[in-house]
Amino acid sequence: MKIIISGSTSKLGVRLVQLANLKNYEILSFNLQEPYYKEQLDILNQEKVDKVITSFSPDILIHTAGFVNADKCENERKKSFNVNIDGTCNLAKSCAKVGAKFLNISSDYVFDGKNGPYDENDQTNPINVYGIAKYKTENLLVEHCPNSITIRTCLLYDWNHEPRRENFLIWLINRLEKREGVRIVNDQYSTPTFIPQLVKVIFYLMKTKYKGIINVSGSEWINRYKFSMIAAKIFNLDNSLIEEIDSNDLNQTAKRPSLGGLKIDKIQDQFYEKILGVKEGLKLCKKIKEDQFRIIDYFNQ
């Protein structure tokens, strides 16, 4: 099987490349920024995108690249729309030309966070620029590449230092290990997602005939403060360093869905293993950190 992975040095992209290599797939992976790329491709350049995809002729393209910082998106609306909408559609159009399946990664930010967690059929209503871009892209994919899957997910965590940006869990544990205080909101709920399991689900879905939108996240609905308290306990760190605050204390530029998160009944009904909750995922992260567990063993389960 031939696979293209965009955003190959992202939190998700790194793990996707690992599993693809383990399965001996032929891979072309890329992202934009030096020095973090294996192949460099500006997804806003349709001519170059066509050339790369036509030349490689993939069976699957898994798209994880994007402009994902919600606050920066709010301040740079044009860039957010260019990268997250136009760039994604460029890739999708090229996939359609060669008959490749397109897997797009989306977010629970397509919802307003008033009544979460949400299932695939709930009414979308994004409240920030990043969410609007993701929402618009979901709709455009139906037009540009009918053979596509949009995977909505949220709050990705893992123990992995390879990506160019650390995830929330690593940031939290590094701060607590240095005995530095952290301020964590108690009014932003989601269904935190263990990245290696998300990767396994993505590889499962790409072999199915499924098309359209599907939710893939963790199984537990929880706010960031409680997630952080559980993480501190599992990693044997002092949770008194964690200050409980609400979103108003952060003065974030972009509004966040308060009651976000995703219902995963549809994927759980068909996936071959139980979707992990927070404690299960965090315990695996601790084992990975302490070299008691290899991710290759998890991928081979």
Contact 131, 260 (CB under 8 A): no
Query: Which residue do the tokens 């999708």 mark?
Result: 92
- Per-residue confidence (pLDDT) for residue 35, from 0 to 100: 45
pLDDT in tens, the chain (301 residues): 999 999 998 999 999 999 999 999 999 998 766 544 456 788 999 999 999 999 999 999 999 999 999 999 999 999 999 999 999 999 999 999 999 999 999 999 999 999 999 999 999 999 999 999 999 999 999 999 999 999 999 999 999 999 888 999 999 999 999 999 999 999 999 999 999 999 999 999 999 999 999 999 999 999 999 999 999 999 999 999 999 999 999 989 999 999 999 999 999 999 999 999 999 999 999 999 999 999 999 999 8
Please state whether the predicted TM-score (pTM) of the whole model is above 0.75: yes
Q: What is the DSSP pairing of strand 189-190 with strand 222-223?
A: antiparallel
CATH of domain 2-299: 3.40.50.720
Token pair, residue 83, equals 């990268």
Report residue 71: phi and psi, to 5°: -70, -40
Contact 61, 91 (CB under 8 A): yes
Cα pseudo-dihedral 27, 10, 279, 215, rounded to 10: -70
Task: Tell me the residue length of the chain.
Answer: 301
Instruction: For residue 297, count CB atoms less than 10 angstroms from its CB and return exposed for 0-12, middle for 13-18, buried for 19 or more.
Output: exposed
DSSP 171-219: HHHHHHHTT--EEEESS-EE--EEHHHHHHHHHHHTTS---EEEE---S
- Per-residue confidence (pLDDT) for residue 40, from 0 to 100: 78
Q: Among the residues of 61-106, which ranges form H helices?
A: 70-75, 77-81, 88-98
Cα–Cα distance measured from residue 15 to residue 291, given in angstroms and rounded to the nearest whole number: 17
- Per-residue confidence (pLDDT) for residue 33, from 0 to 100: 60
Q: 100: alpha, beta or left, given left = phi > 0 and alpha = psi -120 to 50?
A: beta
Beta strands in the chain (DSSP E): 2-6, 26-30, 60-63, 101-107, 148-153, 156-157, 182-185, 189-190, 193-194, 212-215, 222-223, 242-245
CB atoms inside a 10 Å sphere around CB 220 = 20
- Per-residue confidence (pLDDT) for residue 240, from 0 to 100: 98
- Per-residue confidence (pLDDT) for residue 34, from 0 to 100: 55
Domain positions in the chain are: 2-299
